[in-house]
Chains A and B, each alone.
Chain A
Amino acid sequence: ETGVTQSPTHLIKTRGQQVTLRCSSQSGHNTVSWYQQALGQGPQFIFQYYREEENGRGNFPPRFSGLQFPNYSSELNVNALELDDSALYLCASSLKGVLPIHFGPGTRLLVL
Chain B
Amino acid sequence: DQQVKQNSPSLSVQEGRISILNCDYTNSMFDYFLWYKKYPAEGPTFLISISSIKDKNEDGRFTVFLNKSAKHLSLHIVPSQPGDSAVYFCAAFDGGSQGNLIFGKGTKLSVKP
Q: Chain A residues in contact with chain B, CB under 8 A?
A: 4, 31-33, 40-45, 47-48, 55-56, 58, 90, 92, 94, 96-106
Question: Could you write out 26 A-B pairs with CB less than 8 Å apart?
Answer: A31-B98, A31-B99, A33-B100, A41-B105, A42-B6, A42-B89, A42-B91, A42-B103, A42-B104, A42-B105, A43-B89, A43-B101, A45-B99, A48-B97, A48-B99, A48-B100, A56-B96, A56-B100, A94-B99, A99-B34, A99-B98, A100-B46, A101-B99, A103-B36, A103-B45, A104-B43
Partner of A99, one of B41, B49, B103, B104: B49
Partner of B93, one of A48, A90, A99, A104: A99
Extra inter-chain contacts (9) besides given A42-B103, A97-B98, A105-B42, CB under 8 Å? A43-B89, A47-B99, A55-B99, A94-B98, A99-B32, A101-B98, A101-B99, A103-B45, A105-B43
Counting chain B residues whose Cβ lies within 8 A of the other chain, the interface size class is: 20 to 34
Q: Which of the listed residues A42, A47, A48, A97 has the most CB atoms from chain B within 10 Å of its own CB? A: A42
Chain A residues with Cβ below 8 Å from B101 are 43, 45, 101
Asked if residues B44 and A103 are in contact (CB atoms below 8 Å), the reply is yes
Partner of B100, one of A32, A40, A41, A45: A45
Minimum CB–CB distance from B71 to chain A (whole Å) comes to 17
Type the 1/0 row for B75-101, where 1 means its CB is closer than 8 Å to any CB of A.
000000000000001010100111111
Minimum CB–CB distance from A93 to chain B (whole Å) comes to 9
Asked if residues B43 and A42 are in contact (CB atoms below 8 Å), the reply is no
CA distance in complex: A106, B36 (Å): 15
CA distance in complex: A52, B7 (Å): 38
